[in-house]
A and B are shown apart, each in its own frame.
Chain A
Amino acid sequence: MMTFPGTNGDPTRDLTQESAGPPIEVEALRLRPLPVVVRDTSDVPPKRFAVVTHFSSLEEKPSRTATVEDIYPRLMEEASVLRTAIALLGEAEQRADAAVAAIGDDDLVAADIELQHLQAVLPELFCCRSLGDGFGSIVNGIQIAFANQRGLLFNSEQVGAIARAVRRLQHEPFLSIDQAVDIVAALEDVDIIVEPPGLGELADLGNEQSLS
């Protein structure tokens, strides 16, 4: 038997038109056809009320229990990506700091070795770009910066800027693209080129009149 206590027995009564009242209890029976009322409420603002469902004759037990992964597969995937990203960023940060220290000691070979290790984690970090465009933009900018260097060593100021960018990303992996733009601009301020070669040529492609 199905009752709609909150509707005074009238299942067609439009609850969305009424103010929030006490919790509505819906008693449902398994394997018995239920009356279905379809109502278009797309233009009706939603009201908040609690719905409690009781299964009074539960004869069957669930065959298996759903895991969090079953219910939120995307969430779990993102959590795994986040864990990987944070671990890789930690490694990148250590490498960057070690490179700064090595440059301070005038040990350029040691500094370059640290930066080589930092560069090596970037492809995997870029695979974590589902964390957001802000994250992706910074990793991409650093990655392109390395490629633009063509093996030449960054100076201490530049390595410091990269270390700061990595640190910020580790603390705020979900930062917005707007925040990321400021960080990329800070890299540019120390003469790091964060854009792929040839991109600037696009600017000369045409002007307002020729494109319109």
Chain B
Amino acid sequence: MSKAFLDTTILTDLLLKPGPSATAAKAAVARFTTTQLPVYAIREFKGGPLANFVWFHNKVVQTSYEDALASLQALSRTLRRYMTSTAIEALRFCAFSTQRERLGELTSRYGEKAQMTSVLRDQYRLALKTAILKAWKKRRSVAAEVVEPLACYREVEPKQVKDLLDLKPTKCFPERECCLAVRMRASIDQLQKLKEATDAQAPNNERIRRSRALGHFLRVPKRPVSESLCRDLGDAMFAFLAPADATILTTNLKDHGPLAEALGKRAEKP
């Protein structure tokens, strides 16, 4: 029996990236007899990809669509996560673009509701809102079972506050320390291997954070494990939590591969 352990990238492809990415992820999932989704992936998904969608939705609500796109370009530069010009151009896509003349005719009857700026803004606002709510609703149905519940994390659904969407809380709220701390202390040798695997890779922001978190834990394992330390472990947590007989399914094999290998586990791309 084959078992897939889904990471956040697969969850994201399935829920937020319709088209080739979702199709590839679905096909990959279908190759396994059973699939497991850890709650840690849901937590990461909500705090990352889904939060990006909510950020853009709220920008569209509060500004014009053109201004929202300008904010997106600026943020993309700041984060050094350049969206390709093709992607930005794609976002300029408008289902009405071929029907501008028809809209002109409708303006006399529907006023503002038929004006291009209003139509475009509402088209993206509604597409984003639907995508966000749909992704949240379907999150637990992408795998055969949801595993590794986190006692300090609550899956609170997105709320609408006025016209804006609010995802909070996106973080865990541990009482004294992270609910995984006891298991981590019982597996010091595994965490040591994960740190070695992380340090063997070329450093980037994510790996530096992960190495620092692992190093901190290994130096003072008795110190309470904070929410931010658990969060910084990121991909290492999937290698740590995945059952020995499971394959970690991810689009980020570059990071997951060495981590899984360090613990004698497997990682695979769709």
Q: Spell out A's residues near B (CB within 8 Å).
A: 120, 123-124, 126-130, 133, 136-137, 140-141, 143-144, 146-147, 177-178, 180-182, 184-185, 188, 193-211
Contact = CB atoms under 8 A, between A and B. Distances in A.
A208 B44 CA distance: 7
B130 A137 contact: yes
A123 to B, nearest CB: 5
Contact of A180 (B17, B128, B130): B130
A178 B75 contact: no
Contacts of A211: 48, 51-52, 55, 79
A2 to B, nearest CB: 43
Interface string B111-144: 0011000010011101111110110011000000
A180 B19 CA distance: 21
B138 A185 contact: yes
A177 B125 CA distance: 13
A116 B170 CA distance: 44
Given A123-B102, A181-B133, A197 B52 contact: no
- Nearest first, the 4 closest Cβ-Cβ pairs linking A and B are A198-B90, A200-B17, A203-B49, A208-B47
Interface string B81-92: 101101111110
Interface residues of B, number: 59
Interface stretch (B93-101, B148-156, B175-183, B262-270): B93-101
A57 to B, nearest CB: 45
Nearest to B124: A196
B52 A129 contact: no
A205 B53 CA distance: 10
A195 B95 CA distance: 10
A147 B113 contact: no
B130 A199 contact: no
B146 to A, nearest CB: 18
Contacts of B123: 126, 140, 143-144, 196
B102 A196 contact: no
B238 interface: no
B15 to A, nearest CB: 9
A144 B96 CA distance: 9
Given A177-B129, A194-B130, A205 B83 contact: yes
8 contacts: A123-B119, A128-B110, A140-B122, A140-B123, A182-B137, A184-B130, A196-B123, A206-B81
A195 B129 CA distance: 11
Contacts of B49: 202-204
B128 A210 contact: no
A143 B103 CA distance: 14
A144 B95 contact: yes
A37 B89 CA distance: 63
Interface string B230-250: 011000000000000000000
Contacts of B128: 199
Contacts of B56: 202
Contact of A140 (B16, B72, B109, B127): B127
